Amino acid sequence: MRVIVIGSGLSGTIFSKTLHELDPAAEVEIFGDERFLYYPRPNLIEYMAGALPRERLFPFSEKWFADRNIQFNRNARVIEVDPDARRVTLKQGARTGYDALLLATGAHCWVPPIAGLPKTGAFTLRTLEDAENLLERLEKTGKALIIGGGLLGLEIARALKARGGEVEIVEFFPRLLPRQLDQQGADILRSQIEGMGMRVRLGVVTEEILGGADVRGARLKDGTTLDTGLVVIAAGVRANTALAQDTGLKSDKGVLVDDAMRTSRPEIYAAGDLTEHAGRLYGIIPAAFEQAKIAAHNIAGRAQDYKGTVPSNSLKVAGLAVTSVGEINPEPGTREELRAARPEQGIYKKIVLHEGRLTGAIWMGTKQGVNDISRMVTRNADVEKWKNQLLDDDFDFSLLPG
């Protein structure tokens, strides 16, 4: 069996690894746009912060791929898929056939319609090349403005601060991490970030990036002008569906897949940030990982169904471990919410329950119990008997059933 993988990120790599484990005789060929071997994108933050050497970005060598009958092609953009002929065409003109195909083209950074773009000195962060160009610019300017106070924006801010940059964050919503924290948790996080020397502006809109060909500043909608030579836009991502749509695959916000990760063509599968399953795009690593493994099992003839992924995110901002899992901002009055907070220590814990069952949790400022509470949320565990003790620092999670 010959399988082509379009996309060399997490989904494409985990799929190829899993398929080899299931069917060592399968011939797998990966086509990736970048000039690098696979690297986990979260590692870019540690690299930018100076905490991870460049050579350690790459977990798998060329030999690792070759030993698993996986041909890894760099700088190899697929521009056309012919599903009737089961053949792909590369930008360079070469064509090659397949028995089955995985689309793992991921997503791209979304840039809001801000006046004055594009400019030299205005960046998004998606690739290693982006990261290296960004660091080079920081050396010249010393200042950075981050547009977006979500997961990626705060991680970038942390990394640039660690590199000695003067960092300011602007966020459209009235709180940081609007998808991962509630107001109380976000207030504690903001206090910790500002305590590190970074400035935070909330509820503001960036109207224009100032300067000629080069970034020289930014103007907010309220008229405030910020001086900076470096702007990083972290406003979310959009699925890379163009190739899927050109191929005639059914798509909406993402390429549509069933529980087996099949697209509307049964020999073409998809996984990762470009997929839409049961009306939902996840855009998170756990979902990409699970979807890739499900696709590999089904292509190998080991039927498995994807049942969705409980949203879970973990990061470290301002020295604080932040984990958010499941439903954390329910509609008022629809769920029971219990909290414990020690703002001076940056500690905030919250659980969300429905009829005694855990549906969500926030764990910030401590890692103690975070794996246990995440597992309980994923299981939708019944914790009614223990709910008033769950937030205690010394709670024994082994008391919970199963």
pLDDT over 90 for what percent of the chain? Answer: 93
pLDDT at 310: 86
- List % helix, strand, coil for the chain (3-state, nearest 5): 25, 30, 45
Dist. CA 135–CA 115, nearest whole Å: 24
Dist. CA 75–CA 36, nearest whole Å: 8
pLDDT per residue over 19-78, tens digit each?
A: 999 999 999 999 999 999 999 998 999 999 999 999 999 999 999 999 999 999 999 999
pLDDT at 4: 98
Question: What are the structural domains, with CATH classification, of the chain?
Answer: 2-108+237-299 (3.50.50.60), 122-233 (3.50.50.60), 319-399 (3.30.390.30)
Instruction: Give the helix/strand (H/E) hosting 43.
Output: helix 43-48
Write down the pTM of the prediction. 0.91
The 10 Å Cβ neighbour count of residue 396 is 11
pLDDT at 402: 65
pLDDT at 193: 93
Count Cα neighbours of 330 within 13 Å in the Cβ-side half-sphere.
20
What does the pLDDT average to over 269-286?
96
Instruction: Give the helix/strand (H/E) hosting 219.
Output: strand 217-220
